A = this chain, B = another copy of it.
Amino acid sequence: MTRPIFGRVVPERWRTTGATAPGQRTVGEPGTARIAVDLLGGDQAPAVVVDGALRACRADPSLHLTLVGPAEAADAVLAALKPGERRRITTAITATETVNGAVRAVAEGRADALVSAGDTRVLVLSAARELGRWPGIRRPALTAVLPTAAGRLVLLDVGSSVDPDAETLAWHARLGAAYASVVHHVSAPRVGLLTIGTEPGKGDRLRRALPAQLYDLPLPAGARYAGLVEGGDVVLGRAADVVVTDGFTGNVLLKGLETAYALTGPPSPDAEPPPRAALLLGVSGTVVVCHGAARGPDLAAGIALAADLHRRGSVAAIADLLRAQRGIAHD
């Protein structure tokens, strides 16, 4: 069984259509997005985070950043900005626990979303504790998007649930279906289960036990189970809009394909590369995670993703879809 992580479960009541979650309150200015950035997250921090923050600021005039970390790094961002731009920066100076600091900025309503390239385990635990898990979620799922020959595809989990059970993979199916519907506007998303052969009985212990459960699983957004898919299907993108797997396999495949596409170009010439960043789904807030090896442009793309998801109210809309589907399933 997947051990439930600590952290309170958010009561149902806030998750009515149109309402926003704690930490998703919007400020007066329309279009403004206030993103908390963990200055010490990532192998090359703070340099790459400073670089990413500056790139993001320059690309989006409505962006406000809360920089969480040491004074020197925050000062490096401020020094590189024009005086008029500096009012878009808030600092939360701390030399330690910058992940927790960024999560708390969202939990306390000082930021609309957060971005970190820090330790995934620390971030998942902190987000579950401070923001709260959705009902039923034992472990939030890191949800990534990959370009495919046919468009793009949602892959989850990519690093949060490394030893999941069948119930957790079933939750990945629900979360991924809702993500594809809300963020990619896919109607009736097809959800595939990643395995190593499409004949019955293929796969490891976990995968061999799962398909029957998935067939019967009520999915949100009119989604349906599209069957077993293989590694190559994640590149071709014809068999499924959402691919469900454990966080170990998903992380290995994601990093392999991202690195391959960075070298060889994308699988479709007209594919716009998605940000190399993942959304943590299953907590009440917009939490974007970059790889530990992320560079400045990746951090900037992660910040832009967080701002976009906040402005579109995507996380609350995904929670609403899941609640509505739960209601139908329980009738």
Residues of A within 8 A of B (CB): 119-120, 149, 159, 162-163, 194-199, 203-205, 207, 230-232, 234-236, 245-249, 251-261, 263-267, 292-293
Q: B149, B207, B257, B266: which contacts A248 (Cβ < 8 A)? A: B207
Q: Select the residue from A194, A236, A259 with max chain B CB neighbours within 10 A.
A: A259
Copies of this protein in the assembly total 2
Say yes or no: B162 contacts A251, CB within 8 Å.
no
Say yes or no: A254 contacts B235, CB within 8 Å.
no
Residues of B within 8 A of A232 (CB): 255-256, 258-259, 293
Q: What's the least CB distance linking A32 to chain B, in Å? A: 34
Q: A252-B253, A256-B256, A256-B257 are in contact. Are A196 and B159 (CB under 8 A)?
A: yes
Q: B159, B198, B235: which contacts A256 (Cβ < 8 A)? A: B235
A256 to B259 alpha-carbon distance, docked (Å): 12
Q: B120, B203, B235, B263: which contacts A267 (Cβ < 8 A)? A: B263
Say yes or no: A205 contacts B163, CB within 8 Å.
yes
Q: What's the least CB distance linking A293 to chain B, in Å? A: 7
Say yes or no: B162 contacts A203, CB within 8 Å.
yes
Q: A197-B292, A260-B261 are in contact. Are A252 and B267 (CB under 8 A)?
A: no
| Minimum-distance CB pairs A-B, first 7 | A231-B255, A232-B259, A231-B256, A264-B264, A196-B251, A162-B204, A235-B259
Q: B120, B230, B235, B256: which contacts A234 (Cβ < 8 A)? A: B256
Q: What's the least CB distance linking A213 to chain B, in Å? A: 18
Closest to A248 in B: B204
Q: What's the least CB distance linking A113 to chain B, in Å? A: 23
Q: What's the least CB distance linking A125 to chain B, in Å? A: 13
Given contacts A232-B255, A245-B252, A252-B252, 20 further A-B contacts (CB under 8 A): A162-B204, A162-B205, A194-B252, A195-B248, A196-B247, A196-B255, A197-B251, A204-B248, A230-B251, A230-B293, A231-B251, A231-B253, A231-B256, A231-B259, A232-B256, A236-B259, A248-B249, A249-B249, A249-B252, A261-B264
Q: A260-B261, A266-B264 are in contact. Are A252 and B231 (CB under 8 A)?
A: yes
A254 to B257 alpha-carbon distance, docked (Å): 10
Residues of B within 8 A of A149 (CB): 263
Residues of B within 8 A of A246 (CB): 204
Residues of B within 8 A of A194 (CB): 252
Q: A230-B252, A253-B231, A266-B264 are in contact. Are A196 and B258 (CB under 8 A)?
A: no
A253 to B194 alpha-carbon distance, docked (Å): 11
Say yes or no: A163 contacts B204, CB within 8 Å.
yes
Residues of B within 8 A of A256 (CB): 231-232, 234-235, 253, 256-257
Q: B197, B235, B247, B293: which contacts A263 (Cβ < 8 A)? A: B235
Closest to A236 in B: B259
A254 to B261 alpha-carbon distance, docked (Å): 15
Residues of B within 8 A of A195 (CB): 248, 252
Q: Select the residue from A204, A232, A266 with max chain B CB neighbours within 10 A.
A: A232
